[in-house]
Chain A
Amino acid sequence: MIRMWKTKRHFLYALWAVLLLASPAVLNPYWVDVLNLVGLYAILALSLNIILGHAGLFHMGHAAFYAVGAYTTAILNKQFGIPVLWLMPLSGLTAGLTALVVARPIIHLRGDYLLIVTIGFVEIIRIALINNVFGITGGANGIFGIDRPMIFGYKIRKPQEFFYLIWAFAALTVFFFHRLEQSRFGRALNFLREDDVAAEGSGIHTAHYKLIAFVIGAFWAGMVGTVYAAKMTIIAPESFNFWESVIMFMIVLLGGRGSIPGTILGAFLVIGLPEIFREFASARMLVFGAVMVIMMIFRTEGILPALPRSYPIGRLPDTGSDR
């Protein structure tokens, strides 16, 4: 029964993936660009999911790491002319390092305290960017004229081309985070989310694991920053304000904490839906807010909550009962 349900689910995922890949052929550039944005937010939300969904840390400052990645790319590309895609791992690294430095002293804070500190952090980063720290961030106007990405000598420019770059990155992200949540590390994160003390008692160094979750999430957000900078060719502090963090936070919780399909669906709903209802212009966000409240009342765990972990009985060590 479970098996059948699983194959059905995999079939559905494959169907959605095929539909998505074929969509640029029928959609106009505007809608392809909306899908690009959905893709970027899906990747960001997946990277937040490891921190918020799996480790259960209330982190509402993810836009800060995204900003660090984007600015690293923009500055190095403008100053030294390094091709943007080469800067992807480096942006991830600076974002990860920032996370390490910032999160180390605050990782022991619980729940809401962590929430407000991360909010404060994203505001501090934004204000620092506006005030042009070290004279390299371009102040409130930001940095413009960032190079387009080149793949094997081919310059990516049109929305359709970005579509495949972004969603390939999304596929890689899904694979990586799926493997991560199946791993010993992922299980340890879930354990400490459910019960911090019991996890500590079972020999999980909780502070260490939380910190690693933060760094991995930040690393990934930094890499998305690179893609964003390359796509827009212009970045400004206002693109990384507190509201961006809230959007990522909402995507994860609305879609389903700790659930990869849920998070991707959440990105489609939060980013895509307001675009669909653009004709209702001003009232759409009003309805959107009301829908969020109603959604949470009727599906408190999110739309596609994470399934409980299952282990096939045949692969467990022999217990003698089912043979």
Chain B
Amino acid sequence: MDFFLQQLTNGLAVGGIYALIALGYTMVYGVLKLINFAHGDLFTIGAFLGLSLLTSLGLTHHMGSFGVVVSLIVMVMCLVALVGVILDRLAYKPLRTSHRLSAVVSALGASIFFQNGIMLVYGAKLLVYPHDILPKMNVNILGLHIPLIRILILLASLLMMICLYVYINKTRIGTAIRAAAIDQGAARLMGINVDRVIMIVFMIGPALGGAAGLMVGLYYGQINFTMGWIYGLKAFTAAILGGIGNIPGAMVGGLLLGVIEALGAAYLSIAWKDAIAFCVLIVILIVRPTGILGERVAEKI
């Protein structure tokens, strides 16, 4: 039972990270119907920027460990949001009206660009996060010893998701985002500035992805320039699992995927860990092609 709960909390922490990345995929997909293949690399950029800021600014001398982490997250989110907006301007905006596959190739090109850019700047080897930022201690919850960082990551990702949910559902801009996701043309006719909506989506998505990158760095302690691919792939799977284009769906899908993977790795086989996620995906798509929370939309004829 103890083992099970440990794996469950571990799965939830990783799932929170997946969910944050998946939100970026699903929001961009919702508005643009584009799979942003460069999103995984924005996540990697977040991880590397976090490390650079941490080592260069010397924040640890000025404030406590929590202050450091919070200010790091804010800085990384702002920077990666900026990268996201620039990416959209240069690589996707000129392709708004062309075939969807052209934009996919552009996204793949951008992904290659980012990956190699990171490699050129930081080198091809594994980088290690300093491991004294957060105190290494276990929190005792109902007799279960859970590492503090695991709880913090889960809480941070949940907090971000709640903020996003409120933002999307309660504010004017959030309403505009939802409207643009349903029907861009009609939203334009209703006086919504769709270009601005797209820009905002390309700020929020990458910002969340960047924060996830930083969390992975803090959680696992090591990062490399290719890690965006596999995390991106898993997060995209999570987005589909919940129903792509659906914001709560991405959250549920991410957490679910994290838990399934952690339990699968623990009880079935660790060697098949990555395959488990994809098997679940295939089964879901065969049984329920629109994902768990996606509603069935009539195909346009």
Write the residues of chain A forming the contact surface with B, with a CB cutoff of 8 angstroms. 58, 105-106, 108-113, 115-117, 119-121, 123-124, 127-128, 130-131, 197, 242-243, 246, 249-250, 253-254, 257, 282-283, 285-286, 288-293, 295-297, 300-301
B272 within 8 A of A: yes
Tell whether, in the assembled complex, residue A113 and residue B275 are in contact, meaning their CB atoms are under 8 Å apart: no
Which residues of the other chain, B, contact A116 by a CB distance below 8 angstroms? 236-237, 240, 281, 285
- Which chain A residues border B275 with CB–CB below 8 Å? 123-124, 127-128
A282 touches B120 (CB 8 A): yes
Is B86 part of the binding interface, using a Cβ–Cβ cutoff of 8 Å? no
Across-interface contacts of A291 in B (CB, < 8 A): 109
Determine if B286 and A297 form an interchain contact, defined as CB atoms under 8 angstroms apart. Answer: no
A242 to B108, CA, bound (A): 13
Residues of A contacting B299 with CB < 8 Å? 110, 197
**Given contact pairs A123-B233, A127-B275, A300-B102, A293 touches B286 in the complex (Cβ within 8 A):** no
Cα distance A119–B285 in the bound complex, in angstroms: 13
B residues within 8 A CB of A246? 108
Asked whether, in the complex, the Cβ of A121 is within 8 Å of the Cβ of B91, the reply is no
Contact, CB under 8 Å: B274 / A106: no
Minimum CB–CB distance from B58 to chain A (whole Å) comes to: 30
Q: Are B278 and A120 in contact (CB under 8 A)?
A: yes
Taken together as a complex, chains A and B put the C-alpha atoms of A238 and B119 apart, in Å, by: 21
Contact B271 A292 (CB under 8 A): no
Residues of B within 8 A of A (CB): 29, 35, 90-91, 94-95, 98-106, 108-117, 119-120, 229, 233, 236-237, 240, 244, 269, 271-272, 274-275, 277-279, 281-282, 285-286, 289, 299, 301
A111 contacts across to B, CB distance below 8 A: 100
A58 and B100 alpha carbons, distance in the complex (Å): 11
Given A128-B275, A282-B120, A286-B117, CB of A242 within 8 Å of CB of B104: no
Q: Which residue of A lies closest to B300 (CB)?
A: A197
A289 and B278 contact, CB distance less than 8 A: no
B109 to chain A: closest CB distance in Å?
A: 3
- Contacts of B229 on A, CB cut-off 8 Å? 242-243
> Is the pair B105, A117 in contact by a Cβ cutoff of 8 Å?
no
**Does the CB pair A127–B274 fall under 8 Å?**
yes
A282 and B102 contacting across the interface, CB-CB below 8 Å: no
Q: Which residues of B contact A105 (CB under 8 A)?
A: 286
Known: A285-B116, A296-B105. A123 touches B278 (CB 8 A): yes
> Are B237 and A290 in touch, CB under 8 angstroms?
no
Our pick among A112, A257, A283, A290 for the contact of B120 (Cβ within 8 Å) is: A283
**How many angstroms between the C-alpha atoms of A128 and B275 in the bound complex?**
8
Taking a contact as CB atoms under 8 Å apart, the answer to whether A124 and B116 are in contact is: no
Quick one: given A112-B35, A127-B275, A283-B120, are A293 and B109 in contact (CB under 8 Å)?
yes
- Given the complex of chains A and B, what is the CA–CA distance between A33 and B108 in angstroms? 27
With beta carbons under 8 angstroms apart, the residue of A127, A128, A290 that contacts B109 is A290
Option from B101, B271, B285 in Cβ contact (under 8 Å) with A109: B285
Chain A to chain B contacts (Cβ below 8 Å), 10 pairs: A109-B285, A116-B236, A121-B278, A253-B101, A288-B112, A289-B111, A293-B90, A297-B94, A300-B99, A301-B99
How distant is the Cα of A44 from the Cα of B158 in the complex, in angstroms?
Answer: 44
A285-B236 contact given A121-B282, A123-B275, CB 8 Å threshold = no
CA of A111 to CA of B245 in the docked complex: distance in angstroms? 14
